[in-house]
């Protein structure tokens, strides 16, 4: 069995070879950056949210990314319709429950999507993941008010309950399918100073899901790749504007070999 760093390299090479089509139903804030990140790394992004076409687009796509960052009624309906179609076709789906726990509407919408679709991965910060538990008395606020460690037990429980993989990102990232646990220590503190880093992580996992049939491994290797890009960007830029540009550049320039050497994935 290959180690995870070798799998990361293999996934990145496969992605650039296959150029999978990633269907994103995501938020207005990050649409441009997400599309550019997917293109830079070697995937092919498409954004489509109309109830009149989401199911047709899912048929063409290799993976579906659902992100509730600027949700509203029609969009949540389209997310569920697309998610059901992808579930039916056995295509990988990743959910980013942005701000779940901050408003009741976000928590309820996230839970509804989880119940009505077959998700490969759920990625959030610790606070968002905790909010998905049945009893989440302590989670409030948009920013993550709790550590990755706090949320790890919740993540395992959610992964088992919904037969999915949960990825919690933070200073150290944490991925579990309810049995296995991976921790990824790639990344850089500057990533928190630009908008949509979490959303980009989700989209990149979505792309890796299109080339790796093991969702937990796809998530862990994708987070190592994105974290390494964050490290490479920090060598070029020390303020957020130039950093967000350097980060896109790094997604393009990092080779599978560099990723294998730079990955920091532990069990």
Residues in touch with a second copy (CB under 8 A): 21, 27-33, 35-36, 39-40, 44-53, 56-57, 60, 69-74, 99, 102-106, 140-143, 193-196, 239-242, 244-250, 252-253
Smallest distance, a second copy to C-beta of residue 45, A = 7
Smallest distance, a second copy to C-beta of residue 191, A = 11
Angle between helices 4-18 and 197-209 (to 10 degrees): 80
Smallest distance, a second copy to C-beta of residue 181, A = 30
Return the number of the residue (99 or 178) whose C-beta is nearest a second copy: 99
Return the number of the residue (196 or 206) whose C-beta is nearest a second copy: 196
Residue position matching structure tokens 């070879």: 17
Q: Classify residue 135 by burial, with Cβ atoms within 10 Å: 0-12, 13-18, 19+.
A: exposed
Return the number of the residue (14 or 142) whose C-beta is nearest a second copy: 142
Smallest distance, a second copy to C-beta of residue 242, A = 6
Spacing of C-alpha 10 from chain mean position: 19
Q: Are 20 and 44 in contact (CB under 8 A)?
A: yes
Return the number of the residue (39 or 181) whose C-beta is nearest a second copy: 39
| DSSP state for residue 28 in the 8-state scheme | T
Smallest distance, a second copy to C-beta of residue 36, A = 5
Q: Are 12 and 256 in contact (CB under 8 A)?
A: yes
Q: Are 42 and 21 in contact (CB under 8 A)?
A: no
| DSSP state for residue 191 in the 8-state scheme | G
Return the number of the residue (36 or 221) whose C-beta is nearest a second copy: 36
Q: Measure the CA–CA gap between 50 and 33, rounded to whole angstroms.
A: 21
Return the number of the residue (104 or 137) whose C-beta is nearest a second copy: 104
Smallest distance, a second copy to C-beta of residue 109, A = 9
Return the number of the residue (4 or 251) whose C-beta is nearest a second copy: 251
| Strand arrangement of the beta sheet that strand 21-25 belongs to | 44-47, 21-25, 63-67, 93-96, 121-124, 165-168, 173-176, 181-184, 265-266
Smallest distance, a second copy to C-beta of residue 147, A = 18
Angle between helices 240-253 and 31-41 (to 10 degrees): 30
From the list 83, 136, 84, the residue with the least C-alpha distance to 106 is 136
Return the number of the residue (22 or 166) whose C-beta is nearest a second copy: 22
Smallest distance, a second copy to C-beta of residue 223, A = 20
Neighbours of 103 (CB within 10 A): 12
């Amino acid at each position: 069995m290959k180690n995870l760093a070798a799998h990361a390299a293999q996934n990145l090479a496969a992605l650039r070879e296959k150029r999978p089509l990633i269907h994103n139903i995501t938020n207005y804030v990050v649409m441009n950056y997400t599309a550019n990140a997917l293109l830079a790394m070697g995937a092919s992004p498409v954004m489509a949210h109309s109830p009149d076409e989401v199911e047709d687009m899912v048929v063409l796509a290799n993976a579906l990314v659902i992100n509730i960052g600027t949700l509203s009624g029609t969009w949540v309906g389209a997310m569920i319709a697309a998610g059901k179609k992808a579930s039916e076709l056995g295509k990988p789906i990743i959910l980013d429950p942005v701000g779940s726990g901050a408003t009741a509407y976000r928590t309820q919408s996230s839970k509804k999507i989880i119940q009505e679709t077959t998700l490969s991965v759920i990625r959030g910060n610790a606070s968002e993941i905790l909010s998905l538990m049945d009893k989440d008395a302590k989670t409030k606020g948009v920013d993550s008010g709790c550590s990755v460690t706090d949320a790890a037990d919740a993540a395992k429980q959610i992964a088992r309950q919904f037969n999915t993989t949960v990825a919690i990102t933070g200073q150290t990232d944490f991925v579990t399918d309810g049995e296995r646990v991976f921790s990824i220590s790639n990344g850089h503190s500057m990533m928190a100073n630009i908008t949509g880093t979490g959303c980009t992580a989700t989209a990149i996992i979505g792309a890796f899901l299109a080339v790796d049939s093991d969702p937990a491994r796809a998530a862990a290797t994708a987070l190592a790749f994105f974290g390494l890009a964050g490290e490479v960007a920090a060598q070029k830029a020390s303020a957020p504007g130039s950093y967000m540009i350097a980060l896109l550049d790094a997604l393009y320039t990092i080779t599978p070999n560099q990723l294998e050497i730079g990955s920091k994935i532990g069990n």
